[in-house]
Amino acid sequence: MANRKTDTTAMMQPRYTGIPTFMRVPMVGDWDAVDIGLIGVPYDGGVTNRAGARHGPREIRNQSSLMRTYHHVTRVSPYDLVSVADLGDVLFKHLLEHPKALDEIETVFAKIKAHNIIPLSAGGDHTISLPILRALAKDGPVGMIHIDAHTDTWDMFQGSKFSHGSPFRNATEEGLLDPKRVIQIGIRGAQTTADGWDFSEKSGMRVVYMEEFAEIGVPAVIKEARRVVGDGPVYLSFDVDGLDPIYTPGTGTPEIGGITTLEAQQLLRGLRHLNYMGADVVEVAPPFDPTGNTALVAATLMYEILCLIAEKIAAGR
């Protein structure tokens, strides 16, 4: 397969010009020549407290105009390695019929997979990870690196199995995740039940509570993550509430005592050359952060992950 590059024309213009797209890459309707698809999923129908993540993709696009091309540590320019495009947003016809809305998300990501595109998604609440995994993991269970304050393996909430607190319990029960190849990093905060923590641990997931993260440090967590997921297909899911709310106040369920932005970058940079098959950054709720900083953090995390996926694709060629 011939190497493909990204049209970076828009990136050479002043960053306040033009129509915002993710990272200022082209927005395309023809997906045939795309390697990595950046896509928004403006859905927060699974939120159990503060709504607003439906506005995340639009503001992340805006703040991602501040991203540039070359990574200052790895010297990787993902746009020189592969073709990156903005695929737009998932559009809904049944937004308020939540099971149907999840089906609509799955349908879009099934088309992305059919085009051999690796998706990097901007949420939306964490519910979106379930239909994405339904589309991407049809061939068998996959591993996952999950950075979050919460395990998101709770069961029923107000009579529904589908919420942003349950996607990875559902994904495990549906055979989409191999729990023994799942690591959850940054977990913390009091809960009204131990159900989620218990499910994660009893199913075989490696849970790195924030206290352990602080004690052993980023390099040890990187080593553990690489051990757990191994060489098989892996999905990366980053909830911005995994970070301390001093960095990401614009989120639905903030928990103090979290990861710093520098630690997050160091963690991601230690996860190079894994077999990524998709990723998301979720739970940015712009109405709770009028400064735009939460969306800027999310856009920067997306750029870090973009570099990881681009390297993976380039190495495979």
The pTM score is 0.96
Report the run of H or E that residue 279 belongs to, with start and end: strand 276-282
First-to-final CA distance of the chain = 7
Q: Give the model's pLDDT for residue 2.
A: 56
Q: Give the model's pLDDT for residue 4.
A: 86
Helix (H, G, I), strand (E, B) or coil at 41: strand
Q: What is the pLDDT of residues 107-141, one digit of tens each?
A: 999 999 999 999 999 999 999 999 999 999 999 99
Residues of the chain with pLDDT under 70: 1-2
Strand partners, 119: 37
Whole-angstrom Cα distance, residue 72 to residue 69?
9
Whole-angstrom Cα distance, residue 110 to residue 236?
18
Q: Which residue has the tokens 């131990």?
A: 194
- Amino acid identity, position 126: H
Q: Give the model's pLDDT for residue 311.
A: 96
Q: Closest Cα partner for 96 from 88, 104, 108?
A: 104
Whole-angstrom Cα distance, residue 312 to residue 36?
11
- Amino acid identity, position 137: A
Q: Is 241 in contact with 285 (CB distance < 8 Å)?
A: no
| Chain length of the chain | 317
Instruction: For residue 317, give Cα distances in angstroms to 31, 44, 274.
Output: 19, 37, 15
